[in-house]
Structure 1
Amino acid sequence: MNKVKIGLIQASHEVHGDEPVEVHKRAAVEKHLKLVQEAASKGAQIICLQEVFYGPYFCAEQKTKWYDAAEEIPNGPTTKLFQDLARELGVVIILPIYEREGIASYYNTAAVIDADGSYLGKYRKHHIPQVAAGNNGCGFWEKYYFRPGNVGYPVFQTAFARVGVYICYDRHFPEGARLLGLNGAEIVFNPSATVAGTSEYLWKLEQPAHAVANGYYVAAINRVGYEAPWNMGEFYGQSYLVDPRGNMVAMGSRDQKEVVIGVMDKELIHEVRDVWQFYRDRRPETYGAMTDL
């Protein structure tokens, strides 16, 4: 199968942050079940949701209540629910949720579910900023909620393509993007929660560069709207699929809940890698100094 249809889901979250965690999760899961079904009805074969999809981006505040949003993977109820949905629809789902391991370890994670509903594995966000700046000078307190990822940069052979995952802030670091390519990724998904400001300029710059440097597709997903009561800034949407030449295949709107559909062409990956021999011409024996600095 050389051509694979990709579905990217960007959505708003309207539930007020003061509501209980279970209210947030119930509303968001119900919304995204419908959006995944919509994506499948449009022919999407691999579908990715936004970062920590089942609630607000709660890192805008430091409250222990949000630890209750975390679930085990794959044994938590949300993973199991979307495994059933993937099986029913025959689609691959990239499912970004808040993970709890044991009694006190929390990660920003994405589970990868194959088209038969089987759980293939997970990626944990590696790069956790101390304070990621919001548009009003405040910040997202990610280190309060997430430990750095510790499962490497795995690539998953799904029914339709070899899939890698990066999460939000990871996109600023080319090292992991290169490792995903060396591990065999044909497409890398980056589910995000990012607001207007400096990041918006970088949004359309860094990830096409990763696609070109590594000869794969990148799918970038961002939520939309404002989230009360914090109103940290506008989540500016514009989810997109970019090809290995750096061309935008599909892009969503700035402010609308929607399913963005684009087609990846595996033949283009081979064509680009044959012409731009970046893997062949790299010099790994010269890179050791990077780890000494």
Structure 2
Amino acid sequence: MYLYHFGFSELPFTLTPNTNFYCGLRGHDEALQVLLTALKTGEGFIKVTGEVGTGKTLLCRKLLNEIPDHFATAYIPNPYLPPEELRHAVASELGIEHHAQIDQHQLTREIEKKLVSLNKSGRSVVLIIDEAQALPNESLEALRLLSNLETETRKLVQLVMFGQPELDERLATRELRQLRQRISFSYQLETLSEEDMGRYVHHRLQIAGYKGPPLFQPDVIWWLHKGSRGVPRLANILCHKMLLLAYGSGRHTLSVKDIKTAIADTEDAIMPKRQDMLCFLAGVLVAAALALSLAFFLGWLPV
């Protein structure tokens, strides 16, 4: 593998949501601040949506790491569960013993008792659900009913949902209008700009321990951004393949040919259109002309 070929201490472009590689890009930092602010103010329902591969699970795990200690968290990573199993999953996360041996009515009572107990001890409870678009409608309704539990001054449980845009589509239906009205804070993650893509790639290389000359030149970043559509997960796949190509041919540099090959080999990647490439080349020529004009103006070059 190319780990030692490039002098990495670990692989920089794995697909696992490793928070050590979290890059403080504007969108992700804004989303994290929205989440922390909403939780601190005691809001009931909070929602974060974004396309596949935009970093929702990484953000979810970052939240779990950053959340203040007085919050007790219950994390449901795979929520494709009917209401009964969802309640058992919540009970398990809250540390309720023998929950599998009791009926649903008693289970609901035990969850409420646990929430009241945590509240009295000064702790706030946050239920965090990843891939929330997979929740059946009946389970979404069960979450809404769970959010009804409250004292005179505060909610007994706050809910944070991370999901794909399909979650927004479902919440827009009449059937789920009561749940939709409970959502007080929401944030939509966008794909990365070309500038952010460059920061993202160089950040991951730095965290992976790379100390050599720049691997990804601006023209390669441009191709990477277009080919991945700004989706971090897809960019990771393309970068991994590029490094494999360079390693296979014994090179320590990456080229536009590498990214073209990686795009062609990746099903969900998009090969830039001819007009996109012409615009990019025109931009490069304009930038070069401006730099040359500035050099003449400052007297760095002879007239």
* TM value normalised by structure 2: 0.30
Q: Please identify which structure carries the higher strand content.
A: 1
In the superposition, the TM-score normalised over structure 1's length comes to: 0.31
Task: Report which structure shows greater RCO (CA 8 Å, sep ≥6).
Answer: 2
Which structure has the bigger radius of gyration?
2
The structure with the greater share of residues assigned to helix is 2
